[in-house]
Each structure stands twice: as C-alpha cells, then as structure tokens.
C-alpha cells in the first residue's frame, strides 16, 4: 500500500529540496470550532480527519502515547494539506493481549471499541460530513476500526470512509532501499527503531534510548506476505523489539514525511474518483 507513489518520487520527497521542510500551515481543529461557526466550517472543509491512537506500553524508552503522538502529528499536516477538519485523536482504544498486561497500557475491549468508534463516526456523519479519513496508528485498532467503518457505512447512503495505517506507507523493502536502518525488516516492530524514530520526529524530549537495549527484530514467518498472529500473552517479552539504538529524530522526520506525502496523495486520488466503489 504505497498510495500510488513510485519509489523514486518517494525518495525525492524524503531527501529532496526545500518543500519537504515547508510547513503546511495549521489545520482547523474540531475542538476549537465555536458554535456559531459550525455550519460554515463543515461546508468549507472537504472531509473529517480522525486520528486513531492508543495508550500502550512501548518499551522503557518510549512514551505510553507513542501511537497517539505519531498520528496526531501526521494527521495535523495531512488535514492542513487536504482542507480537512482535524478531530482530536482517539486515544483510549483496544490493545491486544500481548501488550494489554504491561503496566501503563489501557485497553478497551474490542467489542466495546467497535461500538464506541462507530458512535464517533455516526456523529461525524450526522454533522454533515460525507467523507471521513481515519488515520490509524495502532495495530489493535485495525479489527475494531474496520468493523465500525463497515457498520456505519451500511447506515447511510451517500458517505465514504477511508481507513489507513501510517506505517503501511513504509514497506520494509522501501525502507531498506533508503538505508535508514540496518535491521532486516526495515525497522518495523512494536516500539522498534522505526516507531521510536517517528515519535522522536514530534517529541524528541520523550525518547530515552539509554533506557533500552537492542533486541532481535520480530521474526519473519512468511517471507514477506502479511499475516496476523495473536497470542494470548507475552511472557519473557520486554514489550518492544528491534535495534532501538538505530532510532533518531532525523530518521523519524524523513519517515513521517514519506508517510504524510503518500497519505495526501491517497486522499487526493480518493476525492477525485468519486465514482470508485469500495475495495475492488
């Protein structure tokens, strides 16, 4: 899932000229809309942008709100570039069993999360939005998040909801070609160098690499094809993975820029192809 961007274009976007560092301006934030402005704000924004994060242990070196910090940062820039109205990040979400029992994780049961998220989506649609973009930052949100999207899409006739996870725009092969991380899977993994770098891109003050030692990256069981393995617990696992000493804010800024550019491209393609059906 690369949002249709060819690899050279992605690399140029990450390492190229001044446009990368340009600030896209500030998005309009939902919680700052004053009551009397509401009708006009809805009418002048093309979509609602909903960041979906978590509160979850990410190793001794990362903040509990790592996922929420990353999606809030990317979503703010995406909303500004796509004329989206930025909603506050949803932080209390479902965490899978292998992280749910770590101290600091707050987990909502998946069936409750599905109903709760569906209510938020219903309210966004009730406000008048007919296009909603959900920017996900957390693996445990994929099942409940897509379940909620499926529910509400079936209740209205003229809406479309787009769900995407920021790290999926950074496939392992592409990261390896950039030479950012030595780790074989491109730095992916819970609390690993890629995710830690992305947090550092926005909040370097919250990263404490001296608190964590390097660990093996997650084993690749499939040779590259995606799979979903859920264990009921994670004994003898320290709650993160990978060569975290490879993480840096500079790498993180490049990575979130690649993701941001590909997400903007995806949204622009989506909005310009109103005739396209759902997944096909």
| Cα angle 131-135-141, degrees, rounded to a multiple of 5 | 115
Phi, psi angles (nearest 5°) of residue 102: -75, 145
Phi, psi angles (nearest 5°) of residue 52: -120, 110
Indicate the residue among 114 and 196 with the shorter CB distance to Zn ion. Answer: 196
Indicate the residue among 3 and 53 with the shorter CB distance to Zn ion. Answer: 53
Question: In whole angstroms, how far apart are CA 155 and each of 87, 150, 274, 279?
Answer: 22, 9, 19, 18
Closest separation in Å from C-beta 97 to Zn ion: 15
Q: Does 99 bind Zn ion (CB under 5 A)?
A: no
Indicate the residue among 82 and 136 with the shorter CB distance to Zn ion. Answer: 136
Closest separation in Å from C-beta 258 to Zn ion: 18
Q: Which of 251, 246, 256 is nearest to 209 (CA)?
A: 246
Q: What is d(CA 181, CA 238) in angstroms, rounded to the nearest whole number?
A: 21
Q: Does 102 bind Zn ion (CB under 5 A)?
A: no
Q: Segment near Zn ion (CB under 5 A), from 26-34, 35-43, 63-71, 271-279?
A: 63-71
Which residue, judged by CB position, is nearest to Zn ion in the bound state? 67
Single residue of 10, 53, 67, 74 touching Zn ion by CB under 5 A: 67
Indicate the residue among 67 and 260 with the shorter CB distance to Zn ion. Answer: 67
Closest separation in Å from C-beta 102 to Zn ion: 12
Q: Segment near Zn ion (CB under 5 A), from 14-22, 30-38, 59-67, 176-184?
A: 59-67
Phi, psi angles (nearest 5°) of residue 131: -130, 125
Query: With contacts defined by CB under 5 A, how many residues of the chain interact with Zn ion?
Result: 1
Could you give the angle at which helices 142-153 and 110-127 cross, rounded to 10 degrees?
40
Q: Does 261 bind Zn ion (CB under 5 A)?
A: no
Indicate the residue among 24 and 171 with the shorter CB distance to Zn ion. Answer: 171
Indicate the residue among 99 and 114 with the shorter CB distance to Zn ion. Answer: 99
Question: In whole angstroms, how far apart are CA 150 and each of 84, 161, 180, 211, 250?
Answer: 22, 9, 37, 41, 38
Q: Does 167 bind Zn ion (CB under 5 A)?
A: no
Q: What is d(CA 78, CA 76) in angstroms, rounded to the nearest whole number?
A: 6
Return the SS3 of 47.
strand
Task: Enumerate binding residues for Zn ion (CB under 5 A).
Answer: 67
């Amino acid at each position: 899932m690369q949002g249709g961007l060819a690899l050279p274009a992605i690399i140029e976007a990450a390492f190229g000229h001044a446009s990368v560092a340009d600030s896209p301006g500030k998005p309009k934030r939902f919680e700052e809309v004053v009551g009397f402005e509401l009708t006009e704000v809805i009418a002048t924004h093309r979509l609602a942008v909903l960041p979906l994060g978590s509160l979850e242990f990410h190793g001794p070196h990362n903040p509990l709100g790592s996922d929420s910090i990353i999606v809030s940062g990317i979503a703010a820039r995406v909303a500004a570039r796509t004329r989206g109205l930025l909603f506050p990040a949803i932080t209390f979400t479902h965490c899978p069993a292998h992280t749910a029992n770590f101290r600091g994780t707050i987990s909502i049961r998946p069936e409750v999360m599905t109903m709760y998220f569906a209510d938020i989506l219903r309210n966004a649609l009730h406000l008048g939005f007919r296009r909603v973009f959900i920017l996900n930052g957390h693996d445990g949100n994929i099942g409940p998040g897509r379940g909620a999207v499926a529910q509400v899409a079936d209740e209205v006739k003229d809406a479309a909801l787009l769900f995407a996870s920021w790290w999926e725009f950074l496939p392992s092969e592409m990261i390896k070609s950039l030479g950012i991380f030595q780790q074989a899977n491109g730095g992916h993994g819970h609390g690993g160098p890629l995710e830690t770098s992305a947090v550092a891109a926005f909040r370097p003050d919250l990263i404490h690499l001296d608190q964590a030692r390097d660990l093996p990256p997650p084993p690749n069981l499939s040779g590259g094809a995606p799979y979903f393995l859920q264990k009921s617990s994670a004994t003898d696992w320290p709650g993160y993975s990978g060569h975290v000493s490879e993480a840096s804010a500079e790498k993180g800024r490049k990575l979130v820029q690649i993701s941001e550019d590909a997400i903007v491209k995806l949204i622009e393609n989506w909005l310009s192809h109103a005739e396209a059906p759902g997944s096909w």
